[in-house]
Amino acid sequence: MAKDGAARLRLRPVGAADRKKLPEYGPLGTGCPAIERAVAALYKGQNEESFWALMNAINYALELDTRVLVPLEAASDQPDGAAPWAEHPVPAEKAKDLQPWTLRTQKGRCYLPVFTSVKMAEADKGTANRPMAERLLASAMQMALDSDSIDGVVIDPWTSSATLDCSLLNGLLHAGHDTDEPGEAELRAGNHAMAEERWDDAMHYYQLSAEEGCAEGLAMMGEMLYEGRGCRKSPAQARKLWKKAADAGDVAAWVALGDDAMVQGKGAGAALRAYRKAQKLCASTPDIAYMPQVCLRVAQYETQYISRKKALAQLAEAKQGFLVRKKEGDETAQSWLDETEAVIRQLLERE
């Protein structure tokens, strides 16, 4: 690093890193598809439903520890066009104390721009050659909240963009995620008991949750029956409960029905119909509890035959979700992760 006569910090790019064949989930690989789709829908819909779909997508991105690119208030030692800064961002340890580059509106309000992908960052010459830092979306939002001079965040300002003021950022980062819907408390109690392998207690709480009208509680009862945990094993009864939960809109139940269709030998077509229903249901409300499974199954049974690149992107998202869930103590995450990585290897071997 060097300083010029105006004492502005100047940075040189780290240099080209070896590219992995698998695109990672984040701005240097697959971007953040959930946010990008939700922003496009907001422009198309311009209604309350599309606004809440965007909030759900951002919540999902936060759950996945999504990274974004943040432009820096620093000069480059490279001539225009010579340094692909978005592709080779400043390392986090060097960027920690650097000031971000901000945008000002005609009304004098100041916003921190964040980019969900290299493509979005390079869409305008204002940031195409500007040094970038790769940060967690949550930390970029918190940076804006902690600054007295920044009024919010604007996501992908050069294309279809979304502007979030500090009140929205505060709600997204600090609002409680547990709901008070009927059966939710019992569902959480069942999940806790299941994590501790107290099968009888788990089945008891899931039944209470289902009786309160919670479709997820019903789906979890189906899983217990299918595996014979806390009850006598009964795949037939499990299928009935999954169908009832699926009809009530539970995504995981549709995934379970698709998996069971394969076990019963009904074929990939029957399974794919269930996975497509799951994909459609979670399009506006993605959640780390079920979205990684949907990405994996759709990539396995449909996308890989249409677009290898898109399938790898879906698998990268699935892998990221299972890694986060594993870190959070989900004991089922490792088996899902192993399956995802096996599919990735198969796709990469096609080259």
| pLDDT of 234 higher than 90 | yes
Please give the residue that has the higher pLDDT: either 255 or 349. 255
Q: What is the mean pLDDT of residues 88-115?
A: 88
| pLDDT of 77 higher than 60 | no
| pLDDT of 21 higher than 70 | no
- CA 299, 63, 335, 351 dihedral sign is positive
Quick one: tokens of 220? 């979890």
pLDDT value of position 300: 95
Angle of helix 268-282 relative to helix 291-301, nearest 10 degrees, comes to 140
**Domain ranges in the chain?**
22-174, 180-248, 268-351
What's the pLDDT tens digit per position in 58-70? 999 999 999 999 9
Q: What is the mean pLDDT of residues 82-111?
A: 82
3-state secondary structure of 316: helix
- The percentage of residues in the chain with a pLDDT greater than 70, rounded to a whole number, is 89
Closest-CA residue to 138 (of 110, 169, 95): 169
3-state secondary structure of 92: helix
- The percentage of residues in the chain with a pLDDT greater than 90, rounded to a whole number, is 62
Question: Confidence class of residue 106 from pLDDT cuts 50, 70 and 90?
Answer: confident
Residue 104: how many CB atoms within 10 A of its CB?
10
Question: Confidence class of residue 332 from pLDDT cuts 50, 70 and 90?
Answer: confident
Mean pLDDT of the chain: 87
Angle of helix 251-263 relative to helix 235-247, nearest 10 degrees, comes to 140
Burial of 40 (0-12, 13-18, 19+ CB in 10 A): middle
pLDDT value of position 97: 81
Give Cα separations from 333 to 227, 295, 323, 324 (angstroms): 17, 14, 7, 9
pLDDT value of position 3: 35
pLDDT value of position 7: 41
Highest mean pLDDT among 76-85, 112-121, 187-196: 112-121
Alpha helices in 3-147 (DSSP H): 33-45, 48-63, 92-95, 118-121, 125-128, 137-146
Contacts of 268 (CB under 8 A, 6+ apart): 262, 301
* CATH of the domain spanning 180-248: 1.25.40.10
128: left (phi over 0), alpha (psi -120 to 50) or beta: alpha
Rounded to an integer, what distance in angstroms lies between the CA atom of residue 117 and that of residue 103? 18
> How long a stretch of residues is the chain?
351
What's the pLDDT tens digit per position in 180-214? 678 889 998 998 888 888 999 999 999 999 999 99
Question: Confidence class of residue 283 from pLDDT cuts 50, 70 and 90?
Answer: confident
